[in-house]
Structure 1
Amino acid sequence: MRPIQIVDPRDPRVASYVDLRRSRAGSGQAAVQAGTFIAEGRLVVERLIASDYELQSVLVQQGREEAFLDQLNSDTPVYTMASELISQVVGFDFHRGVIACGKRRDISAFGEQHNVSLLGRLSLCLLGMSEQENLGSILRSAAALGVHNVFLGPGTIDPLSRRVIRVSMATALKHRYFRMTDPGTELTVLQQRGVRTIASTLADPSQMITDFQRDDRPMILIIGNEAKGIEPIVQAAVSDRVKIPMSNQVDSLNASVAAAILMYELAK
């Protein structure tokens, strides 16, 4: 494989990397529409290469390409540019050495065709998760605790946005995602199919996670928006409501911290 040197930042072959800060900020809708996502930094790109996601291309700072050529198959184009040209393309001071473009997969709903046993012991449902740092941290903790399936409810940002992937250290690529459009109804249906649905909430009635009694049913832990929590209609639809014991008059935790604690307790 021979890397392809790019000398013009307007070269259409690097169009996927143009103005990343603006076009793929927030929910990453531009990336969604294009059917691609961006990973940056050596460790993150290496994990993308090792994943089962398909690569579209890799853009490497000139002089660093040899570190990646042996990891890639011959069908993946590798472009090299001077670091200042890469900065012009991506729209910010780029110093991570490498950036890659992967191809997205369709995210479907968990329907009747799926056996609930495929969910495993514990899954995660994220409703209104709007902070990229929180989402990235939650996905990293989920991967560490063996939580593979993640349901994405309304208002939850793109799990394959550039910053989420970076914060998650590419563990966002390890999960299987399902879309939820009507969480109250869909969680009720899952409960009817033998799934235990567990909402993280401070609202009564809820029990301390340390008092929670597990059984043989698959579980879905539901985490809501950090500021607004989980909507009452969803809380009313779940089988269980749990909270974390806290002292010193602290009444809430960062969403990613709370999610990690709850996942750890439920995954025991």
Structure 2
Amino acid sequence: GYLDLIESLGLRVLEIPTHPATGLSLPALELALDTQPVRAVLAAPTLSNPLGSVMPLAAKQRLVKLLAQRRVPLIEDVVFNDLLSGDQRRKAAKAWDTEGNVMVCGSFAKTLTPGIRLGWVEAGRWRDAVATHKRLQGAATNVVLEEALADLLTQGSYEAHLRRLTASMRQRRHEARHLIAHHFPPGTRVSNPPSGDTLWLELHPAIASMDLFKRCASEGITFGPGELFTATDRYRNCLRLNFSGPWNAITMQALARIGEIARQMLERPAASPTPPVLRRA
């Protein structure tokens, strides 16, 4: 949704390379700041979507310092932070912000229930402007739901819930990676995030994930083709799997079926259309 939102605001996206384990490349970001008219940086330093990468604490600190020196705002997405069990690893880059240059945004949709649709923002030096924008253009918020959630967060049951959730996600990731290893084409590469509910796959270059999606959708199976996660033509042979919903035999069979269809596409690629025969009039 980020790409659609940014486009609707008349802005352009400059993608920064990201390591699947350690996250945003700071040298690449610094090069972009030196050569491009960067107005703001939007990043998820902890459990980025779709890779699930986590920037080391020293890298988070350097990111904040780098952008503060150049007066470039950082919009930090922490929607997945609570899915990490260690307090140090889930620590936001905002922790090193001393000038209000980091706007941090979170949500409870990933940790409690998607239907709750409640989030929060600590907007730094833009606090008043964001509050005004929310009041004028934002939808009304259910105050009763806000009060109930605030009460829940003061109770120890919320932390216990997070521990159960992360354990459940860990088991799902393990089972999903096992299915991928057994059913997807040889050479398939898959991410191994420390937590979260997504996996990123890189298939054989001959397999277009959008074509794979169409074949799977005809059988009622869906996933995120790689092209949805970029403003360029990269990642055409990649896809994102999300296992935050029901995880049962049907879901596992569907995952295995994606791999089987991918194998068929690799073994029997679509035939090229027969060229027309030219005849004399």
Q: TM-score range by the shorter chain?
A: under 0.3
Q: Which has the higher helix share?
A: 2
Q: Which has the higher strand share?
A: 1
Q: Which one scores higher on RCO, CA 8 angstroms, separation ≥ 6?
A: 1
TM-score, scaled to structure 1: 0.24
TM-score, scaled to structure 2: 0.23
